[in-house]
């Protein structure tokens, strides 16, 4: 069993202890997310989703306006900002104290979200690879930064993913990124192994099987496997039928030391966290 050690991040001047796993609820303000049930395009849908995320117990709202599904349509920075402004204005109106993360790989978008809407965390699927200004921007903003491993881009990442040694390559990728961020003075870094991003089903399960080894970095780990193809394709179903598989893998991830679960289904994830934490608290476990 993974040892429980305090892991704090500074969120808008408030410390959050990630040794108690947190649930991050997904708010997609896109028309083309891979899971149709997660799309929130109208103001009514967005407000309903914000309420659902908070009412079901998530401690972080992660909003994104650029779909990162395989073969996703590329949109401009201006369009991404327009969509995000709609979502962020509604979050600040209806849940002004919410801890908000923005899923973007663009430095100018990150800057706008933090400066105009007090966004607390930037979640970058490319770990700076798709915008060379991102690392310096995050350092200036002084906020927690989630870096994900991805081979390629959303447009081509699933064409022919290949690794000579998956774990060695992912670990080397993170070691380089973390060092560069540390050199710039970034204090709060969160690692996301990037399940489903430039990886086959076998790669994804290999990563999950070795998830506890990411603790070598002594940094919080985020797991985002909610309703992904590593579940529904493996089981021969659809994203709409993948909740049970998602909960199973989220539970495994928690047992292997995951600090944040990024999910569509907040209630199920919150319950998984509560049950795993209860088991860990029992002396006989």
Blockwise average pLDDT, block size 10, the chain, 285 residues: 69 92 93 52 88 97 82 81 93 96 97 97 96 98 97 65 92 98 97 95 97 96 96 95 97 97 98 96 68
Helices (H), 101-217: 107-117, 134-141, 166-184, 201-209
Query: Can you spell out the DSSP letters for 69-102?
Result: STTPPP--HHHHHHHHHHHHHHHHHH-TT--EEE
Which one from 177, 215, 256, 262 is the annotated catalytic residue? 262
- What is the pLDDT, as a whole number, of residue 35? 44
CATH code for 8-281?
3.20.20.20
Active site residue 106: no
User: Please, how many CA atoms are within 13 Å of residue 101, restricted to the half-sphere of its CB?
Assistant: 29
Nearest alpha-carbon partner for 127 in 68, 80, 181: 181
- What is the pLDDT, as a whole number, of residue 34? 47
Active site residue 228: yes
> Please, which residues bridge with residue 137 across strands?
none
Q: How far apart are CA 36 and CA 67, in angstroms?
A: 12
pTM above 0.75, yes or no: yes
Burial of 212 by CB count in 10 Å (0-12 exposed, 13-18 middle, 19+ buried)? Answer: middle
Structure tokens at 26: 């997904």
What does residue 226 show for φ and ψ, rounded to 5 degrees? -55, 115
Per the listing, tokens 């429980």 go with: 4
Reduced to 3 states (helix: H, G, I; strand: E, B; else coil), residue 39 is: strand
- What is the pLDDT, as a whole number, of residue 38? 47
Beta strands 121-124 and 100-103: pairing type? parallel
Q: How far apart are CA 41 and CA 53, in angstroms?
A: 16
H or E segment and range at residue 16: strand 14-17
- What is the pLDDT, as a whole number, of residue 106? 96
Beta strands 121-124 and 145-148: pairing type? parallel
> Please, which residues bridge with residue 123 across strands?
103, 146
Which one from 177, 215, 227, 228 is the annotated catalytic residue? 228
Structure tokens at 223: 């797991």
Helices (H), the chain: 43-55, 77-94, 107-117, 134-141, 166-184, 201-209, 229-235, 243-255, 266-281
Q: How far apart are CA 133 and CA 119, in angstroms?
A: 18
- What is the pLDDT, as a whole number, of residue 67? 73
């Amino acid at each position: 069993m993974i040892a429980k050690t305090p892991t704090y991040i500074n969120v808008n001047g408030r410390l959050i202890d990630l040794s108690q796993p947190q649930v991050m609820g997904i708010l997609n303000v896109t028309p083309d997310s891979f899971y149709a049930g997660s799309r929130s395009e109208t103001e009514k849908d967005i407000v309903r989703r914000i309420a659902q995320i908070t009412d079901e117990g998530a401690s972080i709202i992660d909003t994104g306006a650029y779909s990162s599904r395989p073969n996703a349509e590329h949109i401009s920075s201006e369009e991404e900002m327009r969509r995000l402004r709609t979502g962020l204005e509604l979050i600040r109106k209806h849940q002004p104290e919410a801890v908000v993360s923005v899923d973007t790989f663009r430095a100018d978008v990150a800057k706008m979200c933090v400066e105009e809407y007090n966004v607390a965390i930037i979640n970058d699927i490319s770990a700076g690879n798709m915008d060379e200004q991102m690392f310096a921007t995050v350092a200036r903003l002084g906020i927690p930064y989630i870096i994900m491993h991805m081979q390629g881009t959303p447009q081509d990442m699933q064409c022919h993913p290949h690794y000579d040694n998956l774990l060695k390559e992912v670990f080397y990728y993170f070691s380089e990124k973390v060092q560069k961020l540390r050199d710039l003075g970034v204090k709060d870094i969160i690692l996301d192994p990037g399940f489903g991003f430039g990886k086959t089903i076998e790669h994804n399960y290999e990563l999950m099987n070795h998830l506890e080894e990411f603790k070598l970095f002594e940094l919080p780990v985020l797991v985002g496997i909610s309703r992904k193809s590593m579940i529904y394709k493996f089981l021969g179903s659809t994203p709409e039928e993948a909740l049970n598989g998602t909960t199973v893998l989220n539970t495994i991830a928690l047992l292997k030391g995951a600090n944040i679960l990024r999910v569509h289904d907040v209630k199920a994830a919150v319950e998984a966290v509560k049950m795993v934490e209860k088991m860990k608290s029992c002396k006989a476990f």
